[in-house]
Structure 1
Amino acid sequence: MRITRRTSLRSAAVVVGAATVLALPVGSAFADSPAVPGPEVLPSVQPAASVRAYVTTVKLADGSVAKVYKVGKSHFEADVLAGSTKLDTLVGKDGEASYGQSNGLRVVLRPNGTVTSWMVGSPKPQIGKESSVRIAMPDGRTATLVDGPHGKRVEISRPKGRAALATIDLRRPSVHHDGWTYGLVRDGRREKFVVVDGRGGGKSWVYDFSGRLIEKYTAGPVGRGQDTGKGAKAVA
């Protein structure tokens, strides 16, 4: 698969190559190269390896798939796979999309993590836009509720959006962390985001995808409280 970006191919290659080198164990990256002296790098100034957080898997127009990972703010990568064979990796970041093609397949990865594909000779699909809202949850962490052309998802991160912890969608609808459970459920035609305090007697909070707190439950004799009807405060 050949990748093109709005920026130079050399820049894209450097980004992908750097991620590959950082993923190798220390000492193995240049195991097959002759030893050459180089400048000493102190451990305190060595660059930190990027963390790829899995987001979703998108089925492409030819039956292959793209596994999407979030690497940083406005930085996503997509591994294009045909069965167990990785064809290539697309990198969308810094406001620029990444384009790939192989045997008539065309793929676009945008810097917001959305993937679009089509076959040559078929109409090019309209590329929709994503909307998102960020809320502060009862446990102090942050949830970003994303609604896009490929469905809804929730990105869980530490307070103020620092350090992604997990991403849930309807394929992977729940995750547990430090006694808290985060879930994405479908109620009729709409999806809701549920936060459950497993250490606090089962209290739970339910949000819609505009970031509004629409239900709140507390543990009691019937195991259920009343709808608060109060909105949640969105995080700027």
Structure 2
Amino acid sequence: MTDALPEITPQLLLRAYASGIFPMAEGQDDPEIFWVDPRQRGILPLDGFHISRSLARRMRKAEYTASWNRDFPGVLNGCADREQTWINDEIRQLYTALHEMGYAYSLEIWEKEALVGGVYGVALGQAFFGESMFSRQTDASKLALAHLCDHLRRCQFTLLDTQFITEHLTSLGAVEIPRAEYRELLKLALVHSSTLDSVSFDPASDRVLQRMTQTS
């Protein structure tokens, strides 16, 4: 971590991601933002997503709907709706601006008309920097990550950055790698540019499950 910075612009934020660092705040009521550069970095290999039997059953039942970039504010609010969060007002404004600029995206999980889970992050080159996710129903965040990994792979992305490792992410196949190794992967991912609109988002859980289990 470095000293708190008085102001961060969306353009500066993009350059920070390209350099391997990202911003956080101590809490939602703390106005200061600092840069984070972990010695050990979490990533989720796109060909190594683990689908448990219970998650596979839930996907086969298809009692939910997945959507792409349909409700970015809703996902951002869902991620911030917890007792402790690093999403303060400035971070909200920055990522909303990145979304409007076409760099920040969300994936939503719905039960009928209710938003029950989702994930959002930033895309550069062939790298997707996962920022946060939330779940209001069992496995909703897992479903969001499964659909995200599928879409990233179909769009030729090569790196899904999770920043840190949690037990939840580890159960899905996330691993921790040294900073130097992460930066090499990031460098390679930024050489070529892909777009998350290069193919249409496929919300069909049966097809997603088939593709994910064939290569995982």
Name the structure where strand makes up a greater proportion of residues.
1
TM-score (norm 1): 0.24
Structure with the greater alpha carbon radius of gyration: 1
